[in-house]
Structure 1
Amino acid sequence: MNDCTNNVADMKQQMDLNLLKVLRVLIEVRNTRKAAEQLHISQPAVSRALSRLREHFNDPLFIRNAHGLTPTSKAEEIGARLPTALDMLYDVLEGNNDFDPAHIYGKVTVAINGFISQWLAPPLIRRINKLAPNAELHLVNWESSTPNMLVDGRIQIGVNYFPSEVTKQLVQQKIDHDSFVILCRKDHPFNQSVIVPEDFNHYPLASQLIPNWNEQQNHTTELLKDYDVFPRNQLRSSQLSIILQALRDTNMLFPCSARTAKVVGPDFKAIQICPDLPVFNGDFALIMANKSRRHPLSLWLKEQINAAIADADSQ
């Protein structure tokens, strides 16, 4: 038996891995009753497990409050790394390379840039709900904190435009390209198939706010300054539904993903942007932690995201 196997065996003797499973769920749900329901054990069994965990870590781990449990700083520190580490450890102990998504329990978190999520999220949700019915899928916006959360395992995988400025602890794999168009209501007075810079002088703009990307400035208006064109920004919102309603009621123009334009419905039309007008690079990539890029869950999520892109393109 090699040193690695000896170390794993020693760890298993020191702590029942089921206790760590209880700790993982407690950190997520912060309530002993909810943890018991999710783990399919009794609430007293969860309390006994918590008592043993407190003794092992020499820390209270949770402080009771009116609504449940508040993790201590020690529990937060453990919880940031526990999901990825526990999954990997079970793989080693069980010696089983077969991955069955039906056996995924608990939270799976995917971070997606807001422009991409509008068209990618629906087919991805359908695929994961069908193949991993026991998983609790969390789809979150890509934000400034996302890279750190990928590194520590709180987010399993991300999708963002490429290249992204991220730490070397993360790996980026370019997977596809998206183009950009101008969206407006179907009966909008602009009736040309291609829009040129001067046309933007005649209509106000709407823009979707994407965290950690365009909160400080509107990229479209910045590009148009080089053409001495200064359109009025009439609406900025993080909610696509609000923007779409405004487009129905006004003559606003909305720069957006061409893939998003395909799924918003028959009330709208997409106008091509003049090729001479430089637009934002539409390459996008999968982003995951180096340490978990070969983990079965990461590989499976990568497969599902690629399949969801194909699903979106086929619609």
Structure 2
Amino acid sequence: MSNVDLNLIRTFITLYELRSVTLAAEQLYVTQPSVSYALSRLRELFNDRLFVRSKEGMEPTAAAEQLYRELHGSLTQIETTLEGARSFDPSSSNKRFTLAMTDLGEMALFPRIFRRLQREAPNVELEVLPLEIDKVAEWMSTGRIDAVICSRPLPGRDINRQVILQDRYVCIMNGKTAPDQLSMDEFLARKHLVVSRSLGHGLAEEVLADLGLQRKVSLVLPHFSILPTVLGETDLLAIVPLEIAELFAEMHAEGAALKICPLPFEVPAIDVALYWSERSERSPALTWMRQLIIAALGVEGSGASGSES
């Protein structure tokens, strides 16, 4: 055990997260036989099957579950320490970064981030994961992701944040059926389109609950991207951040025009922020990536502040 190859541990963690030899090989940039050979060595090393084939993929055993909890954070800490001892040259690096964000962020913010990334680090790889607000704190603490862009505060004393934009929620609907002014009675009488709260946009719903009000929800979607098409073909109403509402309205300016209305009740403004683990500040590569995102989005200042715990 004293001479365990770190690559074996990387293979184990990748297999655990992807549950597929094929996908693990692709992510590790090795052949499938190499992953299979590494798995056989791991099984011999830990005296356990570790993974069992099923219809869903490679299912971890109880021993593998325990090993993952113990090894993942340790490997991340080792790699961060080693990386901190090296300089980082973005122009020649082929490092892979992982960022979690909603499809709203992908539409409104990601193009600016990726354009700058391509200009400064053409060989760097960036993976964008769909945001699951209930999981991101764990993902960050275990090193599954390098950073998060979202509008809801993430818990944890070791998580830092930088506000990248401020926004407010508005209503958006089909312009053909929209009233001149949206009253509370009209708001409650209309049928609503809601996007999954797992994406972190449930603040308006919480305010309505505090007011003792409940809206008529006719459709729940897992993503925001199809929302303008649905609104253009129905009389449904949706609540979205103003910046994305303006983008949706512009996209459909020549078709079924969408109308933006203020909410008929008060909802606090929202801070969209970049979050990262305090531990990652020891990594020159991750520090550079954060600074690139902040610069790409034109954020004034670059200081970090502790997240709400």
TM over 0.5: yes
Deviation at 1:121, TM superposition (A): 4.0
Matched, 1:81 2:76: no
Deviation at 1:177, TM superposition (A): 0.6
Give the match for residue 205 of structure 1.
192
DSSP-derived class of the 1:97 partner: coil
1:158 touches 1:288 (CA, 8 Å); kept in 2?
yes
Q: Distance in 1 between matches of 2:41 and 2:123?
A: 31
| Match of residue 219, structure 2, among 217, 232, 235 | 235
Give the match for residue 284 of structure 2.
296
Give the match for residue 255 of structure 1.
239
Q: Residues 41 and 269 of structure 1: is their aligned pair in 2 closer, same or farther, counting only changes over 3 Å?
A: closer
Deviation at 1:129, TM superposition (A): 6.8
Give the match for residue 139 of structure 2.
149
Q: Residues 219 and 203 of structure 1: is their aligned pair in 2 closer, same or farther, counting only changes over 3 Å?
A: same
What is the CA deviation profile of residues 223-251 of structure 1, one whole-angstrom value per residue up to 9, with x for unaligned ones? 7x58xx87644434333345333321233
DSSP-derived class of the 2:109 partner: helix
| Match of residue 161, structure 2, among 172, 190, 197 | 172
Q: Distance in 2 between matches of 1:41 and 1:199?
A: 59
2:99 touches 2:129 (CA, 8 Å); kept in 1?
yes
Q: Residues 284 and 241 of structure 1: is their aligned pair in 2 closer, same or farther, counting only changes over 3 Å?
A: closer
Q: Percent identity?
A: 22
Q: Residues 151 and 250 of structure 1: is their aligned pair in 2 closer, same or farther, counting only changes over 3 Å?
A: same
| Match of residue 83, structure 2, among 88, 91, 96 | 91
Q: Distance in 2 between matches of 1:209 and 1:40?
A: 34
DSSP-derived class of the 1:142 partner: coil
Matched, 1:104 2:91: no
Q: Residues 127 and 29 of structure 1: is their aligned pair in 2 closer, same or farther, counting only changes over 3 Å?
A: farther
1:81 touches 1:154 (CA, 8 Å); kept in 2?
no
Deviation at 1:137, TM superposition (A): 0.9
DSSP-derived class of the 1:14 partner: coil
1:220 touches 1:255 (CA, 8 Å); kept in 2?
no
DSSP-derived class of the 1:287 partner: strand
Larger Rg: 1
1:157 touches 1:287 (CA, 8 Å); kept in 2?
yes
Q: Distance in 2 between matches of 1:31 and 1:181?
A: 42
Deviation at 1:80, TM superposition (A): 3.0
The one-letter code sitting in structure 2 at the alignment partner of 1:208 is: V
Deviation at 1:45, TM superposition (A): 4.5
151-160 vs 265-274, which moves further: 265-274
Q: Residues 304 and 80 of structure 1: is their aligned pair in 2 closer, same or farther, counting only changes over 3 Å?
A: same
Q: Residues 248 and 83 of structure 1: is their aligned pair in 2 closer, same or farther, counting only changes over 3 Å?
A: farther
Q: Residues 61 and 230 of structure 1: is their aligned pair in 2 closer, same or farther, counting only changes over 3 Å?
A: closer
Matched, 1:137 2:127: yes
Deviation at 1:257, TM superposition (A): 0.8
What is the CA deviation profile of residues 17-68 of structure 1, one whole-angstrom value per residue up to 9, with x for unaligned ones? 4444444444444445554555455555444544544555x34363342576
- The unaligned stretches of length 5 or more in structure 2 are 300-309
Q: Residues 296 and 14 of structure 1: is their aligned pair in 2 closer, same or farther, counting only changes over 3 Å?
A: same
Q: Residues 48 and 288 of structure 1: is their aligned pair in 2 closer, same or farther, counting only changes over 3 Å?
A: same
Give the match for residue 158 of structure 1.
148
Q: Distance in 2 between matches of 1:70 and 1:178?
A: 42
Q: Residues 26 and 221 of structure 1: is their aligned pair in 2 closer, same or farther, counting only changes over 3 Å?
A: closer
Q: Residues 230 and 46 of structure 1: is their aligned pair in 2 closer, same or farther, counting only changes over 3 Å?
A: closer
| CA RMSD of superposed structures (Å) | 4.0
2:151 touches 2:200 (CA, 8 Å); kept in 1?
no
Deviation at 1:292, TM superposition (A): 1.8
Q: Distance in 2 between matches of 1:133 and 1:33?
A: 23
Relative contact order, higher structure (CA 8 A, sep 6+): 2
Give the match for residue 4 of structure 1.
none
Give the match for residue 246 of structure 1.
230
What is the CA deviation profile of residues 153-182 of structure 1, one whole-angstrom value per residue up to 9, with x for unaligned ones? 1222112225x2512232233332112222
- The unaligned stretches of length 5 or more in structure 1 are 1-10
